[in-house]
Amino acid sequence: MADEASACNDQPPTHFSEAHKAAAAAAAHPSSGFRIGFSEDCNKRRRRTMEDAHSYFYDFGGVVGQGFFAIFDGHASKSAAEWCGNHLHETLLECLELYPNKPVPEILNITYVEADKRLNDKEGRSSGCTTVSCFLRLEKDEGAPVEGAPAESAPNGHVKHKVSYVGC
């Protein structure tokens, strides 16, 4: 029984980058229009080590009302999940800027493929993780992003919160 407890208690505390801290501070900012939360549970009976990571960003990319949220489950080690938790959002921002006219599901697919390449280059071997991710933004009826405008000030009020994509 002591071994089970130590497997969980010996885990280092979850690392929060400056970006994560800024996102948490933004949680109280009313302009986002939404709040998220997370919980972490070290399952001492079923898992010897924690290989999960997460990331969340309010007003993602500096756009009010836009968010990115993801949970990553590492395969065989936590390095891939940690890399994705610290860098996948950066790759997504790059792809959003490179392909502004592509549909969000296609941009996310490009993002995941690029992240795979970068992770494999870093690791020098095939490594990976599973993700559940969500990119949320205000969009006009035709699907174009509303740049930083809250729904109340959008032309003709034809703006809504829309989950652009949830990928697994």
Domain limits of the chain? 2-167
Residues whose CB falls within 8 Å of the CB of residue 27, separated by 6 or more in sequence, listed in order: 35, 36, 58
Residue reference for tokens 């790759």:
91
Residue reference for tokens 């490179």:
98
List average pLDDT for each run of 10 residues in the chain, which is 168 residues long: 39 47 52 64 64 85 86 83 92 94 90 90 74 81 56 45 46
**Residue 71 vs residues 4, 81, 85, 152, 156: alpha-carbon distances, Å:** 25, 8, 8, 31, 36
